[in-house]
Structure 1
Amino acid sequence: MSVIQSTGYPIYFQNPGYKALGDYLRNNRFSKIIILVDANTKRDCLPLFKQKFGLEFAYETIVLPPGEEFKNITTCVEIWEELSRINADRKSLVINLGGGVITDMGGFIASCFKRGIEFVNIPTTLLSMVDASVGGKTGIDLGTLKNQIGLFSNPAMVIIDYDYLLTVPKRELKSGLAEIIKYGYTFDKTLWETIHRFEDIDLNEVNELIYKSIDIKNEVVKTDMKETGLRKTLNFGHTIGHAVESYFLDSKEKENLTHGEAIAVGMVIEAYFSYKLNGFPLVKVDELKSFVKNFYGKVEMSKNDITSIIPLMMYDKKNVSGQVNFVLLKEMENCIWDINVHEDLLLEGFAYYAD
């Protein structure tokens, strides 16, 4: 597959990425190389990376505990202290090998340390391949509020290697598929037409969708890097989805949802808003709801849950002057953004999902 050129950095696919990384290390002579992983990717992905890369080089490994709950400033401080302990300097390089938590937080850590050191993203989950590793966003959560602290900072390169997906649990693969569904509804309906046939995850088919999804996101980002207009469409399903994800993450009585499971709920409800406000075809809303419930399972939310979820939307990054803004559909592949939804319709949307 050909290289995708993003805003100041290349996105490589499969083995050419490792060759490019080898050339990059030889040409830059970094004083220290740090590979940032979590416990899972250290076990499952680091050996594969070393086998695929094939180049002998000295490096330090920093291992994080896995999970969204560790994507916070406390973890960052611990990593900065570790970088200082091992004498990392401004000529050091961080290689982020992992899912969205690792690439988001690793990019943030590298971009702040010594006012910024170079980093490379090697995403190992479907979600991080099609979303978190591309676009220059880095960041961490504030408590349970998603991605509240961060900055735009580009990696030196991104390497996409589908073989890492063989290490990913099925639930996490399904989570990543939700972001591809988003691209299908907002930019390329052929993606949705392919996914709509899925009864289960088929990596052979998914691999064909990854390149197209990255290409879509990259073209959007090149047009609107700082999310002032078009890039907002990439948040379809996320205003509600992030609030649902945060609520379940904070609840002691409920099992955490994956990012994709929460975003799938958000897409169904926001597609319903699109039907009510923009005349988006109800048949496409029903189609999405049916698939989401069959594929991900129904997320049970009581009236009390919903009452607690709605205020969390106030922390969405797209909001302006205290107004919750949504990305809604007019038709397949046609979105509008900065749309306010009345609370009565919010409740109606949750009721539609629950029905």
Structure 2
Amino acid sequence: MSEIIEIKTANYSVHIGGLKTATLPELIHSKHDFSDCYILVDENTKKHCLPVLRDLFADNGDFDQIGIVEVPAGEEHKNLDTVTSIARYLSTHNASRGAVLINLGGGVVCDMGGFAASIYKRGIGFINVPTTLLSQVDASIGGKVGVDLDGLKNYLGVFKNPKAVYVDPAFLKTLDQREVVAGYAEVIKHGLVADKEYLGLIREHDLGMGPQSMESWRAIIEQSVAIKNRIVTRDPREEGERKVLNFGHTIGHALESFYLGSDTPLLHGEAIAIGMICELYLSSILTGLSEETREGVCSYLSSIFPKRQLDLSSYGEYVATMYADKKNQDGKINFTLLTAIGSPLIDQYVDEESIRRALDYYSGL
């Protein structure tokens, strides 16, 4: 796994492969000539992932000059208060407009770090080094950065591309199985909205972490990054085609937000998996997806993701959260649905009764 695969986007590159053979230190010192460097971590990546970067930069004698910015882990901390703490650290350490922030972590760290970098002193550079499956195939790529507002997902944010993304599949070994499985939801989504053949490959994939599995993971990551990059390059600001990547997210985001403050919060991918099952049902009753396809994919999703018992009495609150979704227009709840695998339809407005029926469908599986 020594070879680095480079996938070029509109104005930066995604490097996939072992960080030991990557060019991250050289990028910082030569190509962009950043004045100073900081690494954003949470308590998990500080323990499990930062040593990899420490060794990488130590080879160049640079690590002692790098500032380490630590934030608490978890979606509940993805807010303006944490962004302020990041900016305050940068300011206290006299980070200049020529600085670069390396976001070492999962989707929360990449989203929040990118947002902090984008607004600090009107913008400094940032580089994503994603460490979870979800962030390696989705969150670190595409230029969306932001934070939540009062539990509403990504309500505050901007479009801002990183200077580069470095994806090392070896970081997946630092995750527990629940995190790996949760990240796989975004992989499955890419197959559902963009590539029927890829979905077939996904269904045969081993979710383990052995040597052979790691080679397979690298192939999966490359394909998912390529799919997302292809879509985002054609529609960087989500004015049309990029909306296909929202499949599963209208209901999924609502459930994730609802349970965030509970004793049993959902991981992002777990919520999106429920959302995809519900939205496959909506696709079958509204946009012509065959029942056979729906049942086959939903059976596959149900075999991977643990069942969450939804509360019938909370349906109204779920729907109310969907009405607050930033993707809506004219007060209508906006979905991406499917006519077939690989054939999505954007801007599908769905009534409350159909949404409730979709939630019932999931509960009845």
Same topology, TM > 0.5: yes
Q: Which is worse superposed, 108-117 or 74-83?
A: 74-83
Tell me the distance in 2 between the aligned counterparts of 1:324 and 1:281: 23
Q: Which is worse superposed, 240-249 or 80-89?
A: 80-89
The DSSP-based 3-state class of the residue aligned with 1:30 is: coil
How far 1:196 sits from its partner (Å)?
2.5
Render the CA deviation track for 1:275-299: whole Å, top value 9, x for unaligned.
Answer: 0012201122112222222211111
Cross-structure match for 1:132: 139
Write the mapping of 1:11-26 to structure 2, written as runs, cut at 5 A: 11-15=14-18, 19-26=22-29
Render the CA deviation track for 1:119-177: whole Å, top value 9, x for unaligned.
Answer: 11000000001110000010000021110000011111000111111111111111110
Find 2:79's aligned residue among 68, 72, 75: 72
Structure 1 unaligned segments of length 5 or more: list them: none
The DSSP-based 3-state class of the residue aligned with 1:250 is: coil
1:162 aligns with 2:165: no
Native 8 Å contact 1:121 1:133 kept in 2:
yes
Q: Which is worse superposed, 153-162 or 46-55?
A: 46-55
Find 2:60's aligned residue among 43, 52, 55: 55
Structure 2 unaligned segments of length 5 or more: list them: none
Tell me the distance in 1 between the aligned counterparts of 2:18 and 2:362: 43
Letter in 2 for 1:221: V
Cross-structure match for 2:309: 300
Letter in 2 for 1:214: V
The DSSP-based 3-state class of the residue aligned with 1:3 is: strand
Native 8 Å contact 1:18 1:159 kept in 2:
no
Render the CA deviation track for 1:48-67: whole Å, top value 9, x for unaligned.
Answer: 22234533212010111110
Cross-structure match for 1:41: 45
Tell me the distance in 1 between the aligned counterparts of 2:231 and 2:180: 24
Tell me the distance in 2 between the aligned counterparts of 1:270 and 1:170: 25
Native 8 Å contact 1:200 1:295 kept in 2:
no
1:224 aligns with 2:235: yes
Tell me the distance in 1 between the aligned counterparts of 2:118 and 2:273: 31
How far 1:317 sits from its partner (Å)?
2.1
1:88 aligns with 2:95: yes
Render the CA deviation track for 1:206-256: whole Å, top value 9, x for unaligned.
Answer: 3221100000000101100000110000000000000000001033xx401
The DSSP-based 3-state class of the residue aligned with 1:174 is: helix
Tell me the distance in 2 between the aligned counterparts of 1:87 and 1:46: 22
1:318 aligns with 2:327: yes
1:263 aligns with 2:300: no
Q: Which is worse superposed, 21-30 or 160-169?
A: 21-30
Give aligned-pair identity as a percent: 41
Find 1:291's aligned residue among 266, 282, 300: 300
Cross-structure match for 2:199: 192
Letter in 1 for 2:110: T
Letter in 2 for 1:3: E
The DSSP-based 3-state class of the residue aligned with 2:142 is: coil
Letter in 1 for 2:60: L
Tell me the distance in 1 between the aligned counterparts of 2:193 and 2:281: 14
Tell me the distance in 1 between the aligned counterparts of 2:168 and 2:22: 13
Find 1:181's aligned residue among 179, 183, 188: 188
How far 1:3 sits from its partner (Å)?
1.0
The DSSP-based 3-state class of the residue aligned with 1:326 is: strand
How far 1:184 sits from its partner (Å)?
0.9
Native 8 Å contact 1:323 1:340 kept in 2:
yes
Tell me the distance in 2 between the aligned counterparts of 1:273 and 1:72: 32
Q: Which is worse superposed, 19-28 or 300-309?
A: 19-28
RMSD (Å), alpha carbons: 1.6
The DSSP-based 3-state class of the residue aligned with 1:245 is: helix
Native 8 Å contact 2:169 2:217 kept in 1:
no
The DSSP-based 3-state class of the residue aligned with 1:320 is: coil
Tell me the distance in 2 between the aligned counterparts of 1:196 and 1:24: 37
Native 8 Å contact 1:174 1:201 kept in 2:
no
The DSSP-based 3-state class of the residue aligned with 1:336 is: strand
- Evaluate the alpha carbon distance shift between residue 199 and residue 350 of structure 1 in structure 2; reply closer, same or farther with a 3 A threshold: farther
- Evaluate the alpha carbon distance shift between residue 156 and residue 341 of structure 1 in structure 2; reply closer, same or farther with a 3 A threshold: same
- Evaluate the alpha carbon distance shift between residue 156 and residue 354 of structure 1 in structure 2; reply closer, same or farther with a 3 A threshold: same
How far 1:17 sits from its partner (Å)?
8.3
What's the TM-score, normalizing by structure 1?
A: 0.95
